């Protein structure tokens, strides 16, 4: 008989597992709908500090409503295990697509990547940093819609005791930013770096840095320059390579500031390079986050200096208009 959590969520089948948690396809018996339930392993659930931080992060993630972010429905504690209830996303994760098909064609990679940037950029605008961007956390539906998952869990892990952190912190070192590898607090620019690693892997089928131990891999992220992606995949243009290498800069200030900005850059590149982002018809794909296209269109049609000129003109008109009554009063006083 299937296990039921909190007398509501029936676990139907296991979808996958990792060092932190096991994910199940499940049924919400109250609402009669298919959901996904991620159950954290007891080693993490036993920490009181982690439980509290997990609840805080789950609440924050539940407030994120975006077509490219997995919706969080609920969270709870049952049978000495923390769990989080999310929308069920059919399909696979980006890591499986990379394993089976990389290097991906540039138009396909662009469509998927820009959607990931849209979801993560929305979280950045809401004041949240993902901290654990990797292809495993980027889900792709059969109709090529991207859903980013696991917001907040990496931050919650920071609350566990230092001697309990090692396995969790080194869960995905291949995608860590240099500042994360150095133990510093992540920022939106840290997510941008991790997105750069994902894009590098999508277009080359390889990671920019590899090593046998997490510690040595962290040192490479901090000090070694990434290899040229064009040397691995000649289909990558010099302009696209420049974007990738900028995102993989060691200093956070040298990267694009947010995922939104990176998404706008990739949209602009794919349109200018004629990679068919908006016209390619291999498979149906939703458009990128409307906010990205709207901002890009606004920047193209109304550059900042034009707005400044209009504003100064309006101020001048108001100033002159305000002087007309004064000069009329002076004229009648004289006459």
Identify each DSSP E strand in 119-253 by its residue range. 138-140, 146-148
Query: Which residues are 74's β-sheet partners?
Result: 85
Pairing label, strands 81-87, 92-93? unpaired
Helices 259-272, 290-301: crossing angle, 10 deg rounding: 70
- The backbone torsions φ and ψ at residue 22, rounded to the nearest 5 degrees and listed phi first, read -120, 135
Identify each DSSP E strand in 67-131 by its residue range. 72-78, 81-87, 92-93
Q: Print burial letters for 91-128: b (CB count within 10 Å at least 16), e (below 16).
A: eebbbebbeeebbbbbbbbbbbbbbbbbbbbbbbeeeb
Write out the catalytic residue numbers. Answer: 132
User: 134, 84 in Cβ contact below 8 A?
Assistant: no
User: 153, 20 in Cβ contact below 8 A?
Assistant: yes
């Amino acid at each position: 008989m299937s296990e039921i959590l909190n007398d509501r969520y029936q676990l139907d089948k296991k979808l996958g597992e990792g060092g932190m948690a096991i994910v199940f396809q499940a049924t919400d018996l109250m609402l009669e709908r298919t959901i996904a339930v991620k159950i954290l392993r007891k080693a993490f659930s036993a920490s009181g500090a982690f439980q509290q931080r997990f609840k805080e992060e789950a609440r924050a993630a539940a407030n994120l409503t975006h077509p490219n972010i997995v919706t969080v429905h609920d969270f709870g504690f049952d049978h000495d295990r923390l769990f989080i209830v999310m929308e069920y996303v059919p399909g696979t994760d980006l890591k499986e697509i990379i394993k089976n098909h990389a290097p991906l064609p540039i138009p396909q990679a662009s469509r998927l990547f820009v959607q990931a940037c849209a979801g993560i950029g929305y979280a950045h605008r809401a004041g949240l940093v993902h901290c654990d961007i990797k292809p495993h956390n980027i889900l792709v539906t059969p109709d090529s819609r991207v859903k980013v998952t696991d917001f907040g869990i990496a931050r919650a892990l920071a609350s566990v005791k230092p001697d309990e952190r090692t396995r969790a912190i080194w869960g995905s070192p291949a995608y860590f930013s240099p500042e994360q590898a150095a133990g510093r607090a992540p920022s939106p620019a840290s997510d941008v770096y991790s997105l750069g690693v994902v894009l590098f892997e999508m277009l080359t089928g390889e990671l920019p840095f590899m090593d046998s131990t997490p510690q040595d891999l962290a040192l490479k992220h901090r000090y070694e320059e990434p290899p040229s992606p064009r040397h691995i995949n000649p289909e990558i243009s010099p302009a696209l390579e420049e974007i990738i290498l900028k995102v993989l800069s060691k200093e956070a200030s040298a990267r694009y500031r947010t995922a939104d900005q990176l998404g706008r850059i990739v949209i602009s590149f794919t349109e200018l390079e004629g990679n068919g982002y908006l016209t390619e018809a291999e498979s149906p794909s939703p458009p990128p986050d409307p906010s990205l296209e709207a901002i890009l269109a606004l920047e193209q049609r109304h550059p900042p200096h034009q707005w400044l000129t209009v504003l100064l003109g309006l101020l001048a008109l108001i100033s002159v208009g305000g002087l007309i009554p004064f000069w009329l009063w002076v004229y009648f006083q004289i006459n």
